[in-house]
C-alpha cells in the first residue's frame, strides 16, 4: 500500500539498541536530539518537521515504545532524519500493544524487520496515546 499524507499519524523509528546505547547518559523523562538513518523511499517525501514520531525498540529484550517526540528536520541526502525524543518513564510494552486490535494491525507488528521509517495510523496511535501521561505528551510536543 502506498501511503498518502493523511494516512500517517505518527512515524515509527525502529532500533535494536536500547535508548541509553543510542545516546549515552540519556535518562528517563529527558528529551534527546537524535539523528536516525532511514531507507530511501517515497515515504521520505511525506516526512516534515513537527510531525509526531516514536522510538520503537525491537528485539527480545523490552520491545515496544521507549520514546515519543517529533521530527525536527526533513530527511537529508544520507538519508537520515533528526528527531527530538522524550524517553518515557516506562516503555509501552509490545506485548501489551499486541493484545489490542487497533495496534495489532500496525506495520511494526506485521513486519518487525521492516526498515525505517514505519508509521502508525490514527487508530493505531490511539492505544499509545492512551498510555502516555500528560507530562510525557507535553514533553514530546504532542499536546
Rounded CA-CA distance 122/119 in Å is 10
Signed CA dihedral, 45, 2, 83, 133: sign only: positive
**Residue 136 counted as domain residue:** yes
Does residue 4 fall inside a structural domain?
A: no
> In the prediction, which pLDDT does 99 show?
96
* pLDDT exceeds 80 at position 35: yes
Q: Per residue in 90-139, pLDDT tens?
A: 999 999 999 999 999 999 999 888 889 999 999 999 999 999 999 999 99
Is 24 within the bounds of a domain?
A: yes
Q: What is the CA radius of gyration of the chain?
A: 14
For residue 5, tell me if it sits in a domain. no
- Answer yes or no: is 112 within a domain: yes
Q: What are phi and psi of 25, to 5 degrees?
A: 90, -5
pLDDT at 141 over 90: yes
**Can you list the alpha helix ranges (DSSP code H) found in 9-51?**
19-22
In a domain, 78, yes or no: yes
- Strand, helix or coil at 51? coil
pTM for this entry: 0.96
- Asked if the model's pLDDT at residue 39 lies above 80, the reply is yes
pLDDT at 75: 97
Q: Note if the bond before 117 is cis, omega within 30 degrees.
A: yes
Is the separation of the CB atoms in 35 and 45 below 8 Å? no
- For residue 74, the tally of other CB atoms under 10 A from its CB is 13
Output the pLDDT for position 17. Answer: 95
Query: What SS3 state is found at 68?
Result: strand
Domain holding 53, by residue range, is 12-140
Question: What pLDDT score was predicted for residue 87?
Answer: 98
Contact 6/122 with Cβ under 8 angstroms? Answer: no
Is residue 1 over pLDDT 80? no
Which is it for the CA torsion 121, 83, 98, 134, positive or negative?
negative
In a domain, 3, yes or no: no
Give the pLDDT confidence of 52-80 residue by residue, as tens digits: 999 999 999 999 999 999 999 999 999 99
Give the total number of structural domains in the chain: 1
Res 32 pLDDT > 90: yes
Does residue 127 fall inside a structural domain? yes
143: confidence class by pLDDT, cuts 50, 70, 90: confident
- Interacting residues of 66 by C-beta distance below 8 A, sequence separation 6+: 18, 19, 55, 56, 57, 87, 88, 91
Amino acid at each position: 500500500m502506498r501511503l498518502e499524507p493523511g494516512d500517517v499519524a505518527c512515524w515509527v523509528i525502529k532500533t535494536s539498541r536500547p535508548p541509553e546505547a543510542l545516546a549515552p547518559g540519556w535518562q528517563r523523562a529527558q528529551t534527546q536530539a537524535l539523528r536516525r538513518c532511514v531507507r530511501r523511499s517515497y515515504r521520505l517525501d511525506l516526512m516534515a518537521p513537527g510531525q509526531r514520531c516514536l522510538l520503537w525498540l525491537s528485539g527480545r529484550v523490552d520491545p515496544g515504545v521507549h520514546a515519543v517526540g517529533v521530527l525536527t528536520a526533513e530527511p537529508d541526502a544520507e538519508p537520515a532524519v533528526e528527531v527530538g525524543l522524550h524517553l518515557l518513564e516506562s516503555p509501552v510494552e509490545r506485548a501489551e500493544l499486541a493484545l489490542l486490535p487497533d495496534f495489532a494491525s500496525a506495520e511494526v507488528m506485521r513486519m518487525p524487520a521492516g526498515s525505517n521509517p514505519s508509521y502508525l495510523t490514527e487508530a493505531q496511535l490511539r492505544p499509545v496515546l492512551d498510555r502516555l501521561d500528560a507530562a510525557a505528551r507535553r514533553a514530546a510536543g504532542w499536546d
